[in-house]
Structure 1
Amino acid sequence: MEFDDYESLPTSKVGVHMTAGAVAGVMEHCVMFPIDSVKTRMQSLAPSPEAAYRSIREGLTKMVSSEGLLRPMGGVNAVIIGAGPAHAFYFSTYEGIKATFGSNNAFQNHIVNAGAGCGATLLHDAIMVPADVIKQRMQMYNSPYSSCFDCLRKLYRSEGVKAFYRSFTTQLVMNLPFHAIHIVTYEKFQSVMNPERDYNPRAHMVAGAAAGAAASAFTTPLDMCKTVLNTQETSALVHLQQSRVVGLLGALRTIYVMNGVAGFFKGIQARVLYQMPGTAISWSIYELFKHHMTKNNRNENPPPHWDSDLIKDSVIRDNLCDAESSKSSSDNDGKLMVQERRITLGTTTNKTVERLRTLHMPSLTANCSAADDNWLGK
């Protein structure tokens, strides 16, 4: 498959990007959701002794043994509902910006890729932030909510709409560099491992994992702030003698007061281990769907075989024969012979051009017309 066929799908097929992105996003979050649940609890500012985990394995073991087999999946419904449309818009926007502003210059492409990641993030976060709030409230130890809908209803009644977007600014501040680093790293690994940009599962998976690891490690302090704003831990609020943690600066101050500098990197191991396979799965599934949907589109709309139409066309074949016969004609006057050949070939070419017009081949028609004018002008 050619590069343009695979890597730069036509904008009219934006549904391909949206479908592939939606499936990739849902799969990414669902498969790695238990790790995300452990990460949320490890980022607690004042964890209960029963929810104080030293490792991901310990966290999963304690959650399952004390709270049930399905407890690590608490809140997954919110992610399924939010991740589908969020990732659909993310990938379609990313591909659209990259296709519009991409160039052959490597440095400019890095800028475009980073910009594409940032632009896609704006739409992604507008949908995903409320889902994240519900998800993290459900993931907390001793969560008072029985379901995602129950959490949605109670949050709206007690805190209003602002509860769902309290961390929006912080998440944007986090996700803009996250996705910029993510996209640039992914494209860099792709350029090294898969320069032809063919469908290469190994390259997509390795590049996705590396991109997720780099971006998640760099933005862990901001992710910690997001968790503080989303969860509004009662124990931390009581300790600080305040009713709410508000804004990025408030979250930064709260984390530092409660846990010091080390508090900004709580859960970094779980975050990196969550993002690496998550982004590897996401990119692999996205590229797989894009590959197959593009392939199906090519099969449904094969390019026209102009060459066979031209060969079968009697007008062009007969005219070419006339042109050949005119070359063998002889005349005692050399000038008269040349003039006759010009007229014959000119007539032949005109007929050919008219036939090409009926075959809807403007570029080839123009070339034939130019050749005709050039010959007759000699």
Structure 2
Amino acid sequence: MSLEEDEIEYEGLSSDAGLGVNMLAGALAGITEHSVMFPIDSIKTRMQVIATNQAAIYSGVGNAFSRIASTEGMRALWRGVSSVILGAGPAHAVHFGTYEAVKEFAGGNKVGNQFVATSFAGASATIASDALMNPFDVIKQRMQVHNSQFRSVFTAARVVFKNEGLTAFYISYPTTLIMTVPFAAAQFTVYEYVKKLLNPTNSYSPVSHMVAGGLAGGVAAGITTPLDVAKTLLQTRGTSSDKEIRGARGMLHAFKIIYQKDGFKGFGRGLTPRVLTHMPSNALCWLSYEFFKAAIRD
């Protein structure tokens, strides 16, 4: 088989074999992405939580890292990673499987930059995967917060359900969708645009996948940070000693609380670690995804 035929097959897998390959590649990429960047994500969560305890207030990424490492040990930065591993595989499998299927259906694989099709595919993928991932994300953040009582995913799930009910696992889902739909749309659109710009022949190119993925992740993370702050408030409300935070009812109420407590600057909480997390993690995710897709096919 010629190189040209290999490239065509790589970019256009058959609809039957392609879906399974894309889902497995997505699952492996998701686990890889989240595991590697988890400590920075833990710092982001800590910085976004509106704390009343001075020991839980961090002034920056370096300050948070040194204080957590010195007072709680390095292992604290990995607390909750098991929840991500349990949820990220299935969620990313659904995410990438949906993305590729919808992109093909909507004409996103046609010649040229199909912005509408890739944005629609990215948004569809996010709606499906977040329904599965949201409870795992809640558990993860409950385990990441300062002085968390939880060391086990299953203990955390049981206690949160017992004390707060099923609502605790999905109160942030509307906010998550409002955040991640534009995040995914921006990410996939920027990724496809930059990839085609750097690699117009559509050949397998690790460098172009990494650069495109990193830029896409950074842009998407930056513009959606205010929504991520609101999501963190909702997902960790049960750990707060503040009565109003504990009673947060949804995204708009979370916005009101954030503004009252911290003004407009509150919506930028965790911006730096969020971008630092998503740039390399997205680069790694897309590199892993494209690699696993090609390797599994072979």
Query: What TM-score results when the alignment is normalised by the length of structure 2?
Result: 0.94
The number of equivalent residue pairs is 292
Higher relative contact order (CA 8 A, sep 6+): 2
Change (3 A) 1:69 1:243: closer
| Deviation digits for residues 284-329 of structure 1 (CA, Å, limit 9, x no counterpart) | 00000111222x2xxxxxxxxxxxxxxxxxxxxxxxxxxxxxxxxx
Secondary structure of 2:74 counterpart: coil
Given that 1:41 and 1:47 are in contact with CA atoms closer than 8 Å, whether structure 2 keeps it comes out as no
Aligned counterparts, 1:1-378, within 5 A: 1=3, 2=5, 3-13=7-17, 14-46=19-51, 48-102=53-107, 104=110, 106=112, 109-232=114-237, 235=240, 237-238=242-243, 240=244, 243-294=246-297, 296=298
Which of 1 and 2 has greater Rg?
1
**Contiguous gaps of at least 5 residues in structure 2:** none
Letter in 2 for 1:168: Y
Give 1:9 deviation, angstroms.
1.2
Fraction of identical pairs, as percent: 43
Deviation for aligned residue 1:106: 3.7
What is the CA deviation profile of residues 102-147 of structure 1, one whole-angstrom value per residue up to 9, with x for unaligned ones?
Answer: 264646x110000000000011101111011000011000112232
The one-letter code of the counterpart of 1:251 is A
Q: Aligned partners of 2:118 and 2:265: how far apart in 1?
A: 32
Cα distance in 1 for residues equivalent to 2:127 and 2:238 = 27
Return the alpha-carbon distance in structure 1 between the equivalents of residues 51 and 168 of structure 2: 21
**Take 1:54 and 1:126, find their aligned partners in 2: how far apart are those partners?**
33
Residues in 2 aligned to 1:178 and 1:275: alpha-carbon distance in whole angstroms? 11
Gaps of 5+ in 1: 297-378
Partner amino acid for 1:257?
A: Q
Q: Is the 8 A contact 1:53 1:59 kept in 2?
A: yes
Shift of 1:235: 4.5
Give the match's secondary structure for 1:202.
helix
CA contact (8 A) 1:221 1:264 kept: yes
Between the aligned partners of 1:105 and 1:4, the Cα distance in structure 2 is: 12
Counterpart of 1:64 in structure 2: which amino acid?
A: A
Report the secondary structure of 2:200's partner residue.
Answer: coil
1:213-247 residue CA offsets vs partner (Å, 9 max, x unmatched): 00000000000010000000655633x4x641111
Give the Cα separation in 1 of the matches to 2:239 and 2:99: 39
SS of the counterpart of 2:84? helix
Q: Secondary structure at the match of 2:66?
A: helix
Q: Is the 8 A contact 1:74 1:139 kept in 2?
A: yes
For the residue of structure 2 that corresponds to 1:34, the secondary structure is helix
State the secondary structure of the residue aligned to 2:242: helix
How far does the alpha carbon of each residue in 1:237-263 deviate from its partner, in whole angstroms, 9 at most, with x for none? 33x4x6411111111111111111110
Residue pair 2:142, 2:239 contacting (<8 A) in 1 also? no
How many angstroms does 1:62 deviate by? 1.3
**Separation of aligned partners in 1, 2:161 and 2:238:** 17
Give the TM-score normalised by the residue count of structure 1. 0.75
The whole-number CA distance in structure 2 between the counterparts of 1:181 and 1:81 is 26
Which runs of 4 or more aligned residues in structure 1 lie more than 4 Å from their structure 2 counterparts after TM superposition? 233-236
Q: Which amino acid in 2 is paired with 1:7?
A: E
